[in-house]
Chains A and B, each alone.
Chain A
Amino acid sequence: KNQVEQSPQSLIILEGKNCTLQCNYTVSPFSNLRWYKQDTGRGPVSLTIMTFSENTKSNGRYTATLDADTKQSSLHITASQLSDSASYICVVSPREQTGANNLFFGTGTRLTVIP
C-alpha cells in the first residue's frame, strides 16, 4: 500500500534554531514530492517540489532533500522565525503514466517556534 509517513508529529523549537522534518514514502513509481506549509486556519501552500532526479532544492530558509533510493525526504528550516509555526505536509504524486489521479499525503508535522 502506498503511504507517506512523517516524523516527528510535532516539534517545538526556539526562535533562531534550525530543525529538520522527515518524510518517508513507499509510493512507487512517483512523479514528484512536494512540501506544503499550512498555517493554522488556512489552506496548504507549496514550498518546494522535487522530482525523481533531484537531490536538494532550496527556497529561502527552507531546504528540501530527496533520496529516491531509500525513499526519504527531509525539510530543513534554517534560523527559524515565529512565522514558521505551522504544519508541514509531505505530498507525493504518482507518476503520470500510472493513470492515477490522487495524491498521497502525510499527516504533517506541527512545528511551533517559541521566542
Chain B
Amino acid sequence: EAQVTQNPRYLITVTGKKLTVTCSQNMNHEYMSWYRQDPGLGLRQIYYSMNVEVTDKGDVPEGYKVSRKEKRNFPLILESPSPNQTSLYFCASSLFAVYNEQFFGPGTRLTVL
C-alpha cells in the first residue's frame, strides 16, 4: 500500500531533550516536506527536500533540523525542544515538486512540557 508513515504518533517530552520524528514513504517520491499545524494558523512548512542530500528551509524552520540521506526517509530533529514547539506535525511527499499532489502522513502529536 502506498503510504507515508510517521513515528511516533504521540510524544510527550520535556524542554531540552533532543528528539527525532521519523518519516518514510514507499512511493519513490522525490519531494518531501514537514509541516506543523496549529489551531487558527493552518499548515505551515518547516523544511522541504527536493531530493537526496537537498534540503531547504520553509516558513518556520527555527528550532528544527532535517536530513535526507535516503530517498524514502526524511526525519525531523528537534535538538532542544521548547514548549512553543508543541504542535501537530505532518510529513508529506509528492512525486517531483510542491505542485504535485501532496501525500500526508498520519501526523505526530508532540507536547513539550
What number of A-B contacts does a CB cutoff of 8 Å give? 52
Q: Considering the chains assembled together, what is the distance between the CA atoms of A31 and B101 in angstroms?
A: 12
> Which among B40, B43, B48, B101 is the interface contact of A105 at CB below 8 angstroms?
B43
**Beta-carbon nearest neighbor of B6 in chain A:** A43
* Inter-chain contact B58/A106, CB cutoff 8 Å: no
* Inter-chain contact A102/B58, CB cutoff 8 Å: yes
Interface size class on chain B is 20 to 34
> Which among B41, B43, B45, B105 is the interface contact of A89 at CB below 8 angstroms?
B43
* Inter-chain contact A44/B104, CB cutoff 8 Å: yes
A residues contacting the other copy or chain, number (CB 8 A)? 22
Q: Hey, which chain B residues are within 8 Å of A102, CB to CB?
A: 45, 48, 58-59, 98
Q: Contact residues of B with A, CB < 8 Å?
A: 4, 40-45, 48, 50, 56, 58-59, 90, 92, 97-99, 101-102, 104-107
